[in-house]
Amino acid sequence: MHRVRPLPNYLVQRYHGWKATGYADNKAWYRRLASDGQHPRAMVIACCDSRVNVISIFGADQGEFFIHRNIANLVPPFQPDGDHHGTSAAVEYAVQVLKVSNLMVLGHSGCGGIQGCIDMCKGHAPELEDKGSFVGRWMDILRPRFESVRDIADDKEQAREMEKQAVVTSLQNLMTFPWIEEKVNAGELTLHGLWNDIGEGSLENYSPESGAFHPV
């Protein structure tokens, strides 16, 4: 582990700046969060993409959202096989331990993972087909959905539709977890599917009635 390096200096300086302002001004809240534990109302499952805005788009502060971020905001189906399942573990902790009331899946425009999945489905990304490609194997979760967007001629439109299919897939997979289905049916948990256009700042909400996404 001799390859671990000092933290870049600009981050050290920015951290000290935050400590003297953002922390100092909110010390009471941070101390309360430390002593009282977290009581988030909602869980958000979003993409790792650096452009995705989970916090400020909803005016949230520390303590409000339990946030899991992975490639393409995907939830795999319920599979209690004893292996490491990071996403399922995060969902379990939020729903079973923290008992969040709302669970939001937040997709976004221009998702690189989704584009990779489309390329793979079209046969344009052999490297993602490789067994050793973690991104490729992760995107396998979404792969069956390609059929529903295959005929969309416009590339950008096809990508957007696939991004929305990823949100719907995650919602459907969440319902395969028995304790989620139970809580949803008991009115103790609500699921929400969202898609954000990064450039336009728009937000669309999935409606199961219409089967489509509508502006919030």
- Per the annotation, where are the binding residues for Zn(2+)? 47, 49, 108, 111
Cβ 157 to a copy of itself, closest distance in Å? 15
Quick one: tokens of 128? 């993602």
According to CB under 8 A, which residues from 1 to 60 bind a copy of itself?
1-41, 43, 48-53, 55-60
What angle (nearest 5°) sits at the alpha carbon of residue 189, between those of residues 35 and 213?
Answer: 120
**Would you list the DSSP string of 41-103?**
SEEEEEE--TT--SSGGGT--TTSEEEEEEGGG--PPP--SSS--HHHHHHHIIIIIS--SEE
Q: Is 149 near a copy of itself (CB under 8 A)?
A: no
Q: How far is residue 192's CA from residue 207's CA, in Å, rounded to a whole number?
A: 9
Cα distance between residue 98 and residue 66, in whole Å: 9
Segment 99 to 118, residues that bind a copy of itself, using CB under 8 A: 99-102, 104, 109-110, 112-113
Minimum CB separation of residue 155 from a copy of itself in Å reads 15
Contacts with a copy of itself, 60-99, as mask; x by CB under 8 A:
xxxxxxxxxxxx--x-x---xxxxxxxxxxxxxxx--x-x
Binding of residue 140 to a copy of itself (CB under 8 A): yes
How many residues touch a copy of itself under the rule CB under 8 A: the total is 130
